[in-house]
């Protein structure tokens, strides 16, 4: 009996030693996880984000990688929802041993992922999550390991409000928002605050839920209130439904939104005449923008949207920070990131104390089936 036990025990020890040795090969590549919503509510956002990030990695690999190592991308579908995003983050950190994450796209998914990243000491840079809570903890301190490549909701709300008042001459605004969406709520609250501070008047505010399709009841109220502008900072799927129904209700006030409008699936006929704030315009003439548009077109055959651009910028920022740190130790990379100054496609980026980039925003208009560049607003 004891002999048998000894044999079994020694077998187990030998097995665990060999398996242990197998499980830890020398890391030949530097792994970067890309968390993008490839399915779910906003799959076009996910595809653009993945493509932008992969192109950045491809360009770095062509130049010899970072720190002499090739970069390996691990793409996970995080569905723009908290639970799948958390599962994907745990998978890449615990199973794949990833120390760097690019993602998620949506604030409501990025916020829970950022808590994991901060706890595990993994550097996360979200390309497009604009809610302040992505990089800031509940107690107001900055999450040391979490960054973003886009400006935040207060800024988009502020830009939207000052554009409405200064350029469009709006005096009254009606706000439509999805109370259950952090991104939409963040933009709407900051628009409201800035619009009132600048002397505008909010004549109505209505909420809906993301599964609504019939907006007739609240649009009847908008038609009754006759505002100068309707602020609708939601994603393109809701924008398509609301603007299509608004046209039939005799609402002539222009709609104004945020970067959630930026999608190839935006119904340009329905949203005609609407404006939105965005991160970049491919009509920008800076050489870095034109070079990026050219490279993206060569790779994927289409013009890059803001999602792809920010994912490209975010991945570049992360890799530049690793290069500057001279090591793949996340604790050093995060310090290099906080101190970076990088000329990105969406403008020259530096980080403020809350790890939000300081850079300009553009205003675009949907007109006659085209997206037209209107103006750039610096912070």
Partner 1 sequence: MNAQPPTLLERILKGKWIGKGFLLLVGLVVVWWVGGKALQSPSLFLQQIINGIQLGFVYALIALGYTMVYGIVRLINFAHGDVFMFGAFVSYFSVGLFQLHLWPVRVFPGLSPTAAIILGTVSVILLSMVSCAILAITIERIAYKPLRDAPRISALITAIGVSFFLEYFGALPFVFTPNFITYKRPFEIVTWYVKDGIHRLEIGTEAPPGSVIFSNVLIIIIIVSLILLVGLNYIVRRTKIGKAMRATAYDKPTSRLMGINVDGVISTTFAIGASLAGAAGVLYATAYPQVVFWMGIIPGLKAFVAAVLGGIGSIPGAFVGALIMGQAEVISAGYISTPMRDAVAFTILILVLLIRPTGIFGEPEREKA
Site residues, partner 1 (CB under 8 A): 39-41, 43-44, 179-180, 206-209, 211-218, 220-221, 223-224, 226, 236-237, 240-241, 244-245, 247-252, 265, 267, 270
Nearest residue to 361 via CA among 280, 249, 251: 280
Report whether 204 contacts 175 (CB < 8 A): yes
User: With respect to partner 1, which residue has the nearer C-beta, 223 or 340?
Assistant: 223
Residue 155 CB, nearest approach to partner 1 (Å) = 27
Residue 217 CB, nearest approach to partner 1 (Å) = 4
Report whether 278 contacts 159 (CB < 8 A): no
Contacts of 300 (CB under 8 A, 6+ apart): 51, 55
Residue 180 CB, nearest approach to partner 1 (Å) = 8
Reported as type and span, the H/E element at residue 203 is: strand 201-208
Residue 108 CB, nearest approach to partner 1 (Å) = 17
Evaluate the CA torsion angle 142, 143, 144, 146 in order and state its sign: negative
User: With respect to partner 1, which residue has the nearer C-beta, 98 or 105?
Assistant: 105
User: With respect to partner 1, which residue has the nearer C-beta, 44 or 144?
Assistant: 44
Residue 5 CB, nearest approach to partner 1 (Å) = 49
Nearest residue to 110 via CA among 132, 91, 95: 132
User: With respect to partner 1, which residue has the nearer C-beta, 140 or 250?
Assistant: 250
Residue 43 CB, nearest approach to partner 1 (Å) = 6
User: With respect to partner 1, which residue has the nearer C-beta, 145 or 215?
Assistant: 215
Report whether 146 contacts 355 (CB < 8 A): yes
| DSSP summary character for residue 163 | I
Backbone angles phi, psi at 114, to 5 degrees: -65, -30
User: With respect to partner 1, which residue has the nearer C-beta, 51 or 313?
Assistant: 51
Structural tokens at position 18: 């060999």
The structure tokens 């046209």 sit at 247
């Amino acid at each position: 009996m004891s002999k048998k036990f000894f044999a079994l025990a020694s077998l187990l020890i030998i097995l665990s030693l060999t398996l242990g040795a197998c499980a830890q090969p020398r890391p030949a590549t530097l792994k970067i996880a890309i968390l993008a919503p490839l399915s779910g509510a906003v799959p076009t956002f996910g595809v653009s984000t993945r493509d932008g990030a992969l192109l950045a990695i491809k360009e770095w690999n062509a130049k010899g990688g970072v720190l002499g190592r090739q970069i390996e991308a691990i793409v996970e579908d995080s569905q723009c929802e908290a639970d799948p995003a958390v599962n994907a983050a745990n998978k890449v950190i615990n199973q794949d041993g990833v120390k760097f994450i690019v993602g998620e796209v949506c604030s409501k998914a990025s916020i829970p992922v950022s808590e994991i990243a901060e706890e595990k000491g993994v550097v996360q840079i979200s390309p497009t999550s604009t809610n302040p809570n992505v990089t800031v903890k509940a107690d107001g301190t900055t999450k040391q390991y979490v960054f973003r490549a886009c400006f935040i909701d207060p800024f988009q709300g502020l830009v939207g409000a000052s554009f409405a008042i200064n350029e469009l001459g709006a005096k009254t605004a009606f706000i439509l928002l999805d109370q259950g969406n952090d991104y939409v709520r963040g933009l709407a609250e900051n628009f409201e605050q800035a619009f009132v501070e600048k002397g505008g008047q909010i004549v109505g505010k209505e909420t809906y839920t993301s599964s609504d399709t019939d907006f007739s009841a609240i649009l009847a109220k908008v038609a009754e209130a006759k505002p100068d502008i309707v602020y609708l900072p939601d994603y393109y799927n809701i924008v398509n439904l609301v603007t299509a129904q608004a046209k039939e209700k005799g609402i002539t006030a222009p709609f104004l939104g945020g970067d959630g409008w930026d999608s190839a699936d935006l119904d340009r006929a329905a949203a005609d005449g609407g404006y939105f704030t965005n991160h970049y315009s491919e009509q920008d003439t800076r050489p870095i923008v034109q070079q990026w548009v050219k490279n993206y077109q060569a790779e994927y055959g289409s013009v890059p949207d803001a999602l792809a651009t920010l994912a490209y910028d975010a991945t570049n920022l992360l890799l530049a920070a690793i290069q500057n740190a001279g090591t793949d130790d996340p604790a050093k990379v995060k310090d290099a990131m906080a101190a970076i100054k990088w000329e990105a496609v969406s403008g020259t980026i530096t980080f403020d104390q809350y790890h939000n980039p300081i850079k300009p925003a553009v205003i675009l208009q949907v007109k006659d089936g085209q997206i037209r560049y209107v103006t750039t607003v610096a912070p």
